[in-house]
Amino acid sequence: MRRQIFLAAILCAVPQAGFAAANSCHAHSTFAVVVHGGAIDEKMDGTARFAVMKQALQKARAALAAGASSLDVVEQTVEAFEDSGAFNAGRGAIADAAGLVETDAAIMDGDGLRAGGVASMTALKNPIHAARLVMEANRHVLMVGDRGQAYAEKLGAVAVPPSYFVKTGKVERSAVPEHGTVGAVALDRCGHIAAATSTGGFDAKIPGRVGDSPIVGAGVYAADDAGGFSGTGHGEYYIRYSVSKDVADRMRYAHQSLDAAMKADVFGTLAPLKAEAGLIGVDRHGNVGMYYNTLGMFRGYATDRETPVVAEYAGPTASQPRVKH
């Protein structure tokens, strides 16, 4: 049985090796990938973030065109963001109120609703890879704290010393919270949707606080019959309102379009609560949405029809529509 599952998995997935792999998924011509690098509330120089995002989107687009699985693409895209140090995730994760980095991440496979997550990790180089390892181990979904980290390391996650992180020691809570959570969502040519989110959490969070990013249905969700989502913003609200799952349910049960469902949560539910919110999503038709109620959101996408587009403040919030609802 295990062997069959494994064989099925490799038939619809592409070996890692930086996306440069054999083609394996050509059932459809449609594919899409969307990323975010955090909702933001003040003007900032986005040069470094844009460079990383553009490169990652180009790589992801080429991989999806060649038949890569959405799962591999979202993991490797988020991993590149984590390694860059330019975002509030991985190497660039902001410190908690005690001056220490504590990261959260999760990944979800819309094909079978598999998921893995890690929270309050203090020494992982790539929390999103640890999340994938937890998912593939196929026993638990969410591992937390030192003991969860020890388990992730046992599965193969790489640990780094505190000096690896570039923003340790900053403890003040700023008037304008520092954001920069990262996320990626993709639809592959098999028709499978996957989503991944990774963060250092909220500005000067109390040590031990876990946000929405590693919580399935809050800051991350993917289901092939609806769509995939990754959130950024005030995580407590994403958890309380089950934002990502709510958007998927609007599409699934109320037959709302991706745009209508995402806007309902970002503007209809979260904005009146003054909850800073940004959300990216992809539906099963390959439509992309990127909505936020903050000043801006680092965001970008690419599809089989469109080359990479990136924006920060004004600019596109959706791909060219494919299916009229």
Q: Which residues bind ligand ASP (CB under 6 A)?
A: 38, 179, 181, 199, 201-202, 211-213, 219, 232-233, 235
**Least separation in angstroms between CB 93 and ligand ASP:** 10
Based on CB atoms, which residue is closest to ligand ASP, 12 or 143? 143
The amino acid at 269: T
**Least separation in angstroms between CB 5 and ligand ASP:** 33
**Least separation in angstroms between CB 89 and ligand ASP:** 9
Please provide the distance, in angstroms rounded to a whole number, between the alpha carbons at the two ends of the chain: 40
Based on CB atoms, which residue is closest to ligand ASP, 214 or 289? 214
Of residues 30, 77, 103, 181, which has the active-site annotation? 181
Based on CB atoms, which residue is closest to ligand ASP, 270 or 302? 270
- 246: which DSSP letter? H
Is residue 181 part of the annotated active site? The answer reads: yes
Based on CB atoms, which residue is closest to ligand ASP, 38 or 286? 38
Strand order in the sheet with 296-303: 142-144, 114-121, 103-109, 193-199, 182-187, 32-40, 296-303, 309-311
The amino acid at 209: R
**Least separation in angstroms between CB 82 and ligand ASP:** 14
Give the start-end residues of each E strand in 110-236: 114-121, 142-144, 182-187, 193-199, 220-222, 227-233
Cβ-based burial of 274 (10 A; exposed 0-12, middle 13-18, buried ≥19): exposed
Q: Are 229 and 265 in contact (CB under 8 A)?
A: no
The amino acid at 39: A
- Tell me the catalytic residues: 181
